[in-house]
Structure 1
Amino acid sequence: MDLGLADAAGEPVAPERRVFADDGRIPNSRLATLVFRSRGVNPVLDREAIAERFERLFSANDWQPSWRGGVFDYHHYHSTAHEAFGVLSGWGRLRLGGEQGDDLELRTGDALVLPAGTGHCHLEASRDFLLLAAYPEDQPRLDLLTADPAEHDAAVARIAKVSHPARDPLGGKAACWWL
């Protein structure tokens, strides 16, 4: 409740779903990118308290918190793991899906789940923009691939082997969002 990501019954908020086509450079995914919008973070929480809440929430749902930081300012993706972000502070605008993809603004308390293969790139952000990244427990190794057509086919083969977690990082059944 402190992050504004649950409804009155304590269930995770329903995400926005976005699907991006393979552009020949970035594979993207047939699975939807999930955008969970916070309904408002408890104003008494500072950035460290927000980070602790996200870490507990992600860990409880078998997504392991990994690092804090921002997003690279070039189009890239991961072919060996799904990736989740929790916004700890500020706001940022990302482009998802490759150069011709969609822009998305995230704010404190929002969460984002990128299926393996989904392109993402930092466009602009507030000075205090900070993310917490997490990955499913069985996907501890992360690669970093750019929009290079020479890597595309091998990446698609790896993406097809990435397991689907039972739950999204907020506790919802990922399978219901990833139809």
Structure 2
Amino acid sequence: MSAIKAGAEPLAIVFQDDGLVPNSPMPFLAYKGVVDPGRDPEATIEQLFGSNGWGAMWRNGVYDFTHYHATVHEVLGVARGRARVQFGGAHGQALEIAAGDVAILPAGTGHQCLSASNDFSVVGAYPPGPPMDLQRTSPENHARALKTIPLVAIPATDPVMGKDGPLVRLWNSVRRPGEGRDP
């Protein structure tokens, strides 16, 4: 039995730059209930992400302060519990995420945990490329991020659906010629 629901389409949201959180012209993607976590949900999600070329994985939660990554995209797979997470910065959107959900954040997408159940557990991962950087909101970090974010390559695969997944289609339709692309 597959760990993912076939034919799942993610919710796609484009968050605007708010002057502190740069966000991205590429949509944030949220798959609801896409992963059947099984008996070892963290391992199930790690296997899924790894099989689709996403690595440098970690297990934890989501920080309780607004932050973003300016040199890398990130995927968050909810293994256990539930949380309310603010995506896109103060002017973004708070979403409830729960076990089986996956959120894919293009570089620059702000995120902050507002509340979580005691058993909330996330598996995070990144596509091949530079290591994760953590940026807090400040005018200086925002200015630097505006220079690095357009250089971040679009991943060759969607961490949930693989090479033909929605991420590949949606993000490549937004990226302008000459901006970062995986070969």
| Pair in the same fold by TM > 0.5 | yes
* Equivalent position to 2:84, from 79, 93, 98: 93
Q: Deviations over 1:23-51 (max 9, x none)?
A: 11010000000001115736xx33xx111
2:164 matches 1:164: no
Partners of 1:59 and 1:65 within 8 A in 2: no
Equivalent in the alignment of 2:73: 82
Equivalent in the alignment of 1:126: 117
Partners of 2:55 and 2:128 within 8 A in 1: yes
- Deviation, 1:99, is 1.1
Cα distance in 2 for partners of 1:133, 1:158 equals 21
Cα distance in 2 for partners of 1:38, 1:95 equals 19
Give the partner amino acid of 1:50: P
Cα distance in 2 for partners of 1:152, 1:163 equals 19
122-131 or 52-61, which moves further after superposition? 52-61
Larger fraction in strand = 1
Equivalent in the alignment of 1:117: 108
Give the partner amino acid of 1:174: L
Q: Deviations over 1:57-76 (max 9, x none)?
A: 11111101511111111111
Cα distance in 1 for partners of 2:82, 2:114 equals 11
Give the partner amino acid of 1:128: D
Secondary structure at 1:20's aligned position in 2? coil
Cα distance in 1 for partners of 2:83, 2:56 equals 20
Structure 2 length normalisation: TM-score?
0.87
Give the partner amino acid of 1:132: V
Secondary structure at 1:176's aligned position in 2? helix
2:26 matches 1:31: yes
- Deviation, 1:138, is 2.1
2:4 matches 1:14: no
Give the partner amino acid of 2:62: V
Poorly superposed stretches of 4+, deviation over 4 Å: none
- Deviation, 1:128, is 0.2
Query: Cα RMSD over matched residues?
Result: 1.6
Q: Which runs of 5+ in 2 are unaligned?
A: 174-183
Q: How many residues align?
A: 169
Partners of 1:166 and 1:173 within 8 A in 2: no
- Deviation, 1:175, is 2.4
- Deviation, 1:2, is 5.2
2:78 matches 1:102: no
Equivalent in the alignment of 1:151: 141
